């Protein structure tokens, strides 16, 4: 048995491979774990493919997790998320009636899965290490992390996109401008599509302290479930055409 230093608990333990897309989810949405996933890393300019990786869902794993974490709190979180997702899948209108516990479980699952995506894919590390330890120690969302959900009409079953926040908007004239290097080092956005459910995890360091905010969609296309913002105007008719629209709509405003 291989001994590793766990990304979450930072303890040495037996190596366990955590699937980036949980196997139950792959079977639920694609019928097997043999579907092919192509990871494409595109440059910031969007004109150059840095690298590509083709893998089956079964081989799409992250190995720097100990057995105790994988079969303990991570497995428990998965078990809590399954019935909530299946309920949403039966009727996506339930997105706007989720209770506090359900929103919390979706938020924790979304962050955990975003961490698996970033750590296990061919992309630079954009999630701070302290977010992993915070999730493990407190089972809570770290400060300045936002979780949004929405309805995506494209027919993709399982897909993700990840990047830094790439746009900042200032309503004032006398503030220090945020440059792209600051955003590159201090922000991340990871968006997931699970059939028609979109889950977006976004973060900017010291967001509130610096007077910034990451707003929800101005077209009422999403609901912020962490920290929760009531959105009585949400309707499935206000949907995203694809995951890219949901992902790229993330901006930083001051």
The domain limits of the chain are: 3-253
Inter-residue contact 120 to 60 (CB < 8 Å): yes
Q: Is the C-alpha dihedral spanning 158, 101, 10, 18 positive or negative?
A: negative
Tens of pLDDT along the chain (254 residues) come to 799 999 999 999 999 988 899 999 999 999 987 665 554 444 454 544 444 555 555 667 888 999 999 999 999 999 999 999 999 999 999 999 999 999 999 999 999 999 999 998 888 999 999 999 999 999 999 999 999 999 999 999 999 999 999 888 776 544 556 677 789 889 999 999 999 999 999 999 988 888 899 999 888 999 999 999 887 788 999 999 999 999 999 999 98
Facing residues of 199 across strands? Answer: 149, 192
CA distance 146 to 102: 16
């Amino acid at each position: 048995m291989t001994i590793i230093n766990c990304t979450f608990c930072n303890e040495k333990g037996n190596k366990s491979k955590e699937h980036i897309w949980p196997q139950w989810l792959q079977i639920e949405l694609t019928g097997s774990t043999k579907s092919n996933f192509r990871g494409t890393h595109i440059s910031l300019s969007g004109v150059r493919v840095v690298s590509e990786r083709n893998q089956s869902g079964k081989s799409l794993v992250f190995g720097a997790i100990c057995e105790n974490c994988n079969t303990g709190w991570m497995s428990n979180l998965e078990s809590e998320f399954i019935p909530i997702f299946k309920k949403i899948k039966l009727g996506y209108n339930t997105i706007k009636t989720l209770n506090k516990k359900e929103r919390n479980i979706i938020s924790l699952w979304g962050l955990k899965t975003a961490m698996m995506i970033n750590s296990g894919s061919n992309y630079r590390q954009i999630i701070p290490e302290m977010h992993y330890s915070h999730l493990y120690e407190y089972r809570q969302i770290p400060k300045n992390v936002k979780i949004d959900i929405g309805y995506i009409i494209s027919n993709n079953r399982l897909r993700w996109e990840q990047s830094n926040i790439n746009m900042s908007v200032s309503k004032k004239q006398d503030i220090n401008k945020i440059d792209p290097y600051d955003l590159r080092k201090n922000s991340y956005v990871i968006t997931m599509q699970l059939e028609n459910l979109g889950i977006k995890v976004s973060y900017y360091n010291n967001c509130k302290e610096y007077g910034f905010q990451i707003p929800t969609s101005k077209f009422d296309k999403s609901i912020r479930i962490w920290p929760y913002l009531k959105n009585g105007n949400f309707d499935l008719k206000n949907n995203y055409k694809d995951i890219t629209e949901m992902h790229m709509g993330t901006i930083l405003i001051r």
